[in-house]
């Protein structure tokens, strides 16, 4: 791996940006120079990395002249606005937003699945949706072994998927419920404390939400499987961190639960936790602050020929966002693709 990468983080003060700093330090990414950037209103904020203090600057085009790679942890509108200017400074963009994910000229990467697609980037590399990342890490090894024809997935998504405001709203709604007062609705459409909300992002014309359709479109692109049939239901639940997913797959070739367990046990980035008789299965509480995707409850789908069902949990802030982006940056660095 090359040494001394000049690395910029845009949105360094946000939840994902803060997690990126933590993951960079844990993985000992070869940072030669760290450039922390954010909204001009947050310029001057002080952040620590490897014991040293860094002062956040405004994300102006000139800020990227000294950078090799830029990690963008901002919204799609900002990414669309600034990414071309960053690329013009000969800096590779790894974008965490939805802005470029479905652009055919932009690779959409989960390193455990399609790392080779990084090779053809033209300056921008997209980080997928957190729920998509979690699912494809779990199902792609089975697809390689038995060719998946169809996926049905329901997600159970933590409030931190909506950022710090989502965490604050769950706290406020719990307090309101306990004290018998009316909750203030800001982030979520309904009270989230002691409730589940089958609505994440806006509804599309086909009655699926955009969050659900992201899982369809992005999975097909990442797995190079445009004909793969996928239907998703995305649900917000009152959990602070880590998303869970109930996944049903139908395969061309028959695959027993035991064969699936072995395939997944050997797969990169996966930990199999599958001993229901001893109450061992993935849960968000225990997958939080981890980079692996945990898979369990692997069983036959008794309603479908060549069908398997499984339960998955993973930290959507780490593997679903920060860690995946940094894994991409590691490959860009190792292959000198910047």
Q: Which residues are catalytic?
A: 130, 243
Classify 222 as helix, strand or coil. Answer: helix
Interatomic CA distance for residues 154 and 262, integer angstroms:
24
Q: How far apart are CA 334 and CA 329, in angstroms?
A: 8
DSSP secondary structure of 9-32: EETTTSHHHHHHHHHHHHTT--EE
DSSP character at residue 215: H
Q: In what order do the strands lie in the sheet with 307-314?
A: 229-236, 148-157, 243-251, 307-314, 293-300, 270-272
**Helix (H) or strand (E) run with residue 38 in it:** strand 31-38
What the block records as the tokens of 264 is: 């997944």
Q: Which residues contact 84 (CB under 8 A, 6 or more apart)?
A: none
């Amino acid at each position: 791996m090359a040494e001394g990468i000049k690395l910029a983080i845009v949105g360094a003060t946000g939840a994902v940006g803060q997690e990126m700093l933590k993951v960079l330090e844990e993985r000992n990414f070869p940072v030669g120079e760290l450039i922390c950037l954010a909204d001009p209103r947050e310029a001057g904020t002080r952040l620590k990395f490897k014991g040293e203090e860094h002062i956040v600057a405004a994300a102006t085009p000139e800020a990227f002249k000294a950078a090799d790679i830029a990690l963008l942890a901002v919204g799609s509108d900002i990414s669309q606005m600034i990414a071309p200017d960053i690329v013009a400074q000969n800096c590779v963009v790894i974008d965490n937003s939805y802005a470029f994910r479905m652009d055919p000229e932009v690779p959409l990467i989960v390193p455990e699945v399609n790392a080779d697609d990084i090779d053809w980037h033209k300056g921008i590399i997209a980080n997928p949706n957190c729920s998509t990342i979690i699912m494809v890490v779990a199902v792609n090894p089975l697809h390689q072994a038995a060719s998946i024809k169809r996926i049905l997935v329901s997600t159970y998504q933590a409030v931190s998927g909506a950022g710090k405001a989502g965490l604050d709203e769950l706290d406020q709604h719990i307090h309101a419920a306990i004290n018998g007062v009316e909750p203030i609705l800001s982030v979520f459409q309904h009270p989230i404390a002691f409730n589940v909300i089958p609505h994440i992002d806006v509804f599309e014309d086909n009655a699926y939400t955009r969050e659900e359709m992201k899982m369809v479109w992005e999975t097909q692109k990442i797995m190079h499987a445009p004909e793969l049939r996928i239907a998703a239901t995305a649900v917000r639940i009152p959990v602070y961190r880590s998303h869970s997913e109930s996944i049903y797959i139908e395969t061309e070739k028959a695959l027993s639960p035991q064969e699936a367990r072995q395939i997944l046990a050997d797969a990169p980035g996966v930990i199999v936790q599958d001993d229901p008789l001893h109450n061992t299965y993935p849960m968000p509480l225990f997958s939080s602050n981890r980079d692996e995707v945990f898979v369990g409850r692997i069983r036959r789908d008794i309603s479908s020929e060549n069908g398997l069902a499984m339960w998955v949990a993973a930290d959507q802030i780490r593997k679903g966002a920060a860690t995946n982006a940094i894994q991409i940056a590691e490959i860009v660095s190792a292959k000198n693709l910047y």
